[in-house]
């Protein structure tokens, strides 16, 4: 199968980053018969205090998502 890697930069947008990661993951699962997917969200020095925690929570629920802080 084809391998697709997504890199998602995140800065102070916990609500939208969660939606983005869930959306990419759902699309990847739909095409999983043909495509292996790896999703990496990069926390770009968020300073809102909420984004890092939300990213970790999101990654814990999605098997193909990893986070770089």
Range list of β-strands (E), 1-69: 2-10, 35-43, 65-68
- Residues 9-36: what's their mean pLDDT? 92
pTM of the entire predicted model: 0.88
Instruction: Tell me the percentage of the chain whose pLDDT exceeds 90.
Output: 81
pLDDT in the model for residue 66? 97
pLDDT in tens, 30-43: 988 888 999 999 99
pLDDT in tens, 50-62: 999 999 999 999 9
pLDDT in the model for residue 15? 87
């Amino acid at each position: 199968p084809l391998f697709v890697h997504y890199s998602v930069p995140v800065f102070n947008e916990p609500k939208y980053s969660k939606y983005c990661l869930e959306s990419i993951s759902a699309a990847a699962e739909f095409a999983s018969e043909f495509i292996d997917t790896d999703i990496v969200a990069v926390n770009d020095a968020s300073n809102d205090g909420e984004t890092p925690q939300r990213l970790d929570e999101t990654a814990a629920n999605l098997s193909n998502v990893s986070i770089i802080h």
